[in-house]
Amino acid sequence: MFFHIVLERNMQLHPRHFGRDLRDKLVAKLMKDVEGTCSGRHGFIVAITGIESVGKGLIRDGTGFVTFPVKYNCVVFRPFKGEILEAVVTMVNKMGFFAEAGPVQIFVSNHLIPDDMEFQSGDMPNYTTSDGSVKIQKDSEVRLKIIGTRVDATEIFCIGTIKDDFLGVISDPGATS
């Protein structure tokens, strides 16, 4: 789920950046440091939308660097257990399939794929129902439910399921509508 929250960070700035453009340089450094990172608490920081406030700078003894506490608004993405997401399938193999929803990689094991879907190997490995009506292959869109998440420094990993009602394929890349 996406959230728009206020986060705070202490930014250290080298004295060479002091001058007229101090604030802009601070904001640029903040964006470079923070956008694209993950934290366990907030999830994946997608984009900074604005700066709420920049506090008074504190000069560090001995080095000359100045620390500014910066409060900024940003859009974060954090998946939750039990959340329902739409994702695009990236890889299908006999153990299940991998799907991506933005920065999140989700693995759906074949234990959590409905029993009537069988794995078919071949040029385009896929999971198909016995009557061939529903097919999951690379670039299909699926709706899935998250049952576990793990966050590390740059990536978020999730386990998902499509074994519940209303979950499964939304659109088939090769299907005639």
Partner 1 sequence: MSLAAEHSSSSDDIAASLDAVLDTASDASTDPDEVIEEEEESYVGDEGYYDSDPERPKRRKVELSKGLTNLQRSLSQGEPVDLSGGSSPKKIMCPHPGVYAGMCVKCGQKVDEETGVPFGYIHKNLRLADDEVARLRDRDLKNLLRHRKLYLVLDLDHTLLNSSQLADITVEEGYLHDKRDALPDTLKSSLFRFDWMHMMTKLRPFVHTFLKEASNLLEMYIYTMGERPYALAMAKLLDPGDIYFNSRIIAQGDCTIRHQKGLDVVLGQESAVLILDDTEAVWGKHRENLILMERYHFFASSCKHFGFNCKSLSELRSDESETDGQLATVLKVLQRVHSLFFDEGSKDNLEDRDVRQVLKTIRKEVLRDCKIVFTRVFPTNFPAEHHHLWKMAEQLGATCSTELDASVTHVVSMDAGTDKSRWAVQEKKFLVHPRWIEASNYLWQKQSEENFPVTQAKSK
Given the rule CB under 8 A, which residues bind partner 1? 39-42, 80-82, 91, 93-96, 98, 107, 109, 111-112, 114-115, 118-119, 121, 123, 125, 147-151, 157, 159, 164-165
Q: How far apart are the first and last CA of the chain?
A: 29
Per the document, the length of the chain is: 177
Residue 152 CB, shortest distance to partner 1, in Å, is 8
Q: Are strands 156-161 and 104-109 parallel, antiparallel or unpaired?
A: parallel
In contact, 127 and 75? CB cutoff 8 Å = no
Which is nearer to partner 1, 30 or 161 (by Cβ)? 161
Residue 67 CB, shortest distance to partner 1, in Å, is 24
Residue 107 CB, shortest distance to partner 1, in Å, is 5
Which is nearer to partner 1, 23 or 94 (by Cβ)? 94
Q: Burial of 119 by CB count in 10 Å (0-12 exposed, 13-18 middle, 19+ buried)?
A: middle
Which is nearer to partner 1, 59 or 95 (by Cβ)? 95
Which is nearer to partner 1, 60 or 81 (by Cβ)? 81
DSSP 30-90: HHHHHTT-EETTTEEEEEEEEEEEE---EEPTTT--EEEEEEEEEEEE---TT-EEEEEEE
Residue 120 CB, shortest distance to partner 1, in Å, is 8
